Chain A
Amino acid sequence: DAGITQSPRHKVTETGTPVTLRCHQTENHRYMYWYRQDPGHGLRLIHYSYGVKDTDKGEVSDGYSVSRSKTEDFLLTLESATSSQTSVYFCAISDYMTGIGFEQYFGPGTRLTVT
């Protein structure tokens, strides 16, 4: 299994509070991703990173920010959590595979509940 950990694994927080989720990898992969998974929607990309300090938005980036100061860590921050951000958050990593795309490896997920 790829070495990916997420912390915390579970969190309950109140509306309006800031929350930071951490993804840590030991694979030295260049790309890191944050997804959210909600019933009926499948996995949706929030933000991704293609290198240290290099990040870009995904399809559901509003209300989220990210930072990557080291290859191994990718942080997802909810500046002011809302109930609509209650979800399961997955981190993934990948390295370039010539020709056909990027096989991704997923972390165990973080279940976030905003009350």
Chain B
Amino acid sequence: KNEVEQSPQNLTAQEGEFITINCSYSVGISALHWLQQHPGGGIVSLFMLSSGKKKHGRLIATINIQEKHSSLHITASHPRDSAVYICAVWERISGTYKYIFGTGTRLKVLA
């Protein structure tokens, strides 16, 4: 079982739909990171959070530390949101950090 699991693996939505991508992890973490990988391959940092909720434009990220779960929501989705969304967690072990990535959720938003 992967330490970081994302669901769904693939998602197709119509423009305007509300989208939710989930990330569950099995390790104790100090922070969780949402990243976006564009179709051209570039990777962009979206959010880094350790508790609660963060919002940036149409993107909202939440985390529940007790349940070891985070969600990334996209409101009023648009074709330009089509990308792979990657969840990564920072696990702190004996003073050193280990950065663990999920395998990503591939989102396609149709016009």
Interface residues of A (CB under 8 A from B): 40-45, 88, 90, 97, 99-106, 108-109, 111
Contact = CB atoms under 8 A, between A and B. Distances in A.
B7 interface: no
Contacts of B48: 97, 100-101, 103
Contact of A42 (B50, B92, B104): B104
Interface in B56-111: 86, 88, 90, 92, 97, 99, 101-104
Given A100-B31, A103-B48, A42 B43 contact: no
Contact of B99 (A45, A90, A109, A111): A45
What bracket does the count of chain B residues touching chain A fall in? 20 to 34
B46 to A, nearest CB: 10
B94 to A, nearest CB: 14
B65 to A, nearest CB: 12
A43 B86 contact: yes
A40 B103 contact: yes
A104 B31 CA distance: 12
Contact of B45 (A40, A90, A103): A103
A105 B86 contact: no
Contacts of A102: 90, 97, 99
Contacts of B4: 42
Contacts of B50: 99-101
Contact of B41 (A45, A100, A101, A109): A109
Nearest to B51: A100
Nearest to A108: B42
Given A40-B103, A43-B86, A104 B30 contact: no
Interface string B21-35: 000000000110101
Contacts of A45: 99
